[in-house]
Structure 1
Amino acid sequence: MSHARRYFVDALSTDKPRAEHALEQTQLLYAVERYFSEQDFNTDQRHQERSLKAVPIPQMDERSMPAGIAPKLHRESACLQY
C-alpha cells in the first residue's frame, strides 16, 4: 500500500484536492491494519476482517465524493485492493 501512497503524495503538487482525499482514505486503511495488529489477529482473521472493514472504504468514498472526482479516484484506488 505504501507504494501507491507515494504516487498520491507526488500528486499533491498537481491535483491537491484528490490527492489529499486519497491520502485520507489511505490513512483509514492503515488504521484498520493497525487495529488488526493491536488485536493480534492471525492471517485468516485479518483476511476475513479486511473484507468487512477495509474493502468498503473505497466504495464509501465513491458515494461521498463530488461527481467527476469519484470515477477517477476509483481507478487509482484499484491498486490498493489485494
Structure 2
Amino acid sequence: MNWQRLRITAETSLIRGRTVIRTLIALAGVATVVIGGVNLLSGGVWAPYRSLLRTVGVTTVAEQQFIYIADVVVIALGAVAAWFA
C-alpha cells in the first residue's frame, strides 16, 4: 500500500513540474515578444541585443534592414514559444 502512495506522489510531482516548466517557457516567450517589440519601436538602440542577433546569423546588407528583420524574427519566435508552451 505504501508503493501506491509513492506512485501517486511521483505522478503529482511530475504534473506540477511539467506545469511549472510550461509556464516558464510561456513567460520567456512573452518576454521575448516584449523585448523585440520595444527594440523595434525604439529604433534599435540596444547594441548588445543587436550583436546577439547578429551572432545568431540574421543579417542583411543594410544595418537598418537587419534591425527590422531580426526584431520580427525574435517576435515571431517568442510568439510561437508562448503559444505552444
Shorter-chain TM-score tier? 0.3 to 0.5
Bigger fraction of residues in helix: 2
Higher RCO (CA-CA < 8 Å; seq separation 6+): 2
TM-score, reference length from structure 1: 0.34
